[in-house]
Homo-oligomer: A and B are copies of this chain.
Amino acid sequence: MIIVMEAQATPAHIQQVSSKLEEKGFQVHLSQGVERTIIGAIGQKTTTTMELFETLPGVEKVVPIAQPFKMASREFKPDSSLIEVGGQMIGNGQVQIIAGPCAVEGRSKFLEVAHAVKESGATMLRGGAFKPRTSPYAFQGLEHEGLEILAEARQITGLPVVTEIMDPRLVNEVADYVDILQVGARNMQNFFLLRELGKIQRPILLKRGPSATIEEWIMAAEYIISSGNEQVIMCERGIRSFENYTRNTLDLSAVPLIKQLTHLPIIVDPSHGTGKWKLVEPMALAAIGAGADGVMVEVHQNPSEALSDGPQSLTPENFARLVTRVNKMVMALRATEN
């Protein structure tokens, strides 16, 4: 790290910082500038170490040099990670299309939509058994019964299944029923949950928190990986900005950035990312243009009767059109890479 001293810092201030750095095991390089002194510190720093130096007298700021994430970084592992899910690969250039309703609302309804999306070309199923809702008065999911319906749909359609896990006490139970465990946006920094998910060997779909920076999001992946589970799939689903025509602001720049900074695959959720079904197809195509490894979209046979997220759900007909367009675009892009 680099420690920038204030213009008025005295030699005693500089000496104190240098001594403390050496005491913590850093090598010290002093540069005397026109206006201020800069101290380069070579060694293993942690976020906490950095903060300490900010509080010493005469210090203006501390500038980190290395990225705070290690095991998730592309420097640590230059080759892109491939993650196997039910015989399919995420991250190998194929584009996954994960579809299904926001919440599992009942057995026959879920099986019906599962068949419909499979027929249109979905490669995986999604559906929520546990629903975290802003209001305590809204539908909270079928819970255990929902998991059983998901498992049945998986068996019937042959498609892998994704569902959200919220309670660290239920990690093993949920892992028994589904192929991919999803960490919802609101739980991205639920570190107890992340650590539990690091103890199982099952792919984790890690949604970006609505106010998480790219760096914080990668640090959440680092929690899971450093706890023992390397199978992390990132999922961009929109960040919170001042714009409120859309439910969130889908930050597609995150797609190429995650690919540059990490070795992890990334998929995009244009349903939550926009909150409006009329924007889902154009933003799914945009996600593919940006280089995403897949999209996850909400589909409901009758959005005006959905128990949650109706306004952002596609009908099966609109979903079929999206699949056709996405697949044509994937082929066109692949043709230009050679």
Contact = CB atoms under 8 A, between A and B. Distances in A.
B241 A242 contact: yes
B226 A136 contact: yes
A274 B260 contact: no
Nearest to A66: B35
Interface in A286-320: 286-291, 303-311, 313
A223 interface: yes
A243 B252 contact: no
A135 B277 contact: no
Contacts of A136: 191, 195, 219, 222-223, 226-227
A266 to B, nearest CB: 12
Nearest to A35: B66
Interface stretch (A113-121, A182-190, A199-207): A182-190
A4 interface: yes
Given A242-B239, A286-B287, A310 B52 contact: yes
A75 B239 CA distance: 30
B34 A43 contact: yes
Nearest to A305: B52
B256 A282 contact: yes
A98 interface: no
Contact of A134 (B47, B278, B279): B47
Nearest to A78: B8
Contacts of A211: 209-211, 240, 242
Contacts of A56: 304
Given A246-B253, A256-B279, A291-B282, A135 B219 contact: yes
A285 B42 contact: no
B332 A283 contact: no
A48 B2 contact: no
A173 interface: no
A303 to B, nearest CB: 4
B55 A304 contact: yes
A40 interface: yes
A245 to B, nearest CB: 5
Interface of A: 2, 4, 7-8, 20, 29, 31-36, 38, 40, 42-44, 46-48, 51-56, 63, 65-66, 68, 75, 132-139, 166-169, 186-187, 189-192, 195, 209-211, 213-216, 219, 222-223, 226-227, 239-246, 249-253, 255-257, 260, 273-274, 277-279, 282-283, 285-291, 303-311, 313, 324-325, 328-329, 331-333, 335-336
The 5 A-B residue pairs with the shortest CB-CB distance, nearest first, are A332-B332, A211-B211, A285-B289, A289-B289, A286-B290
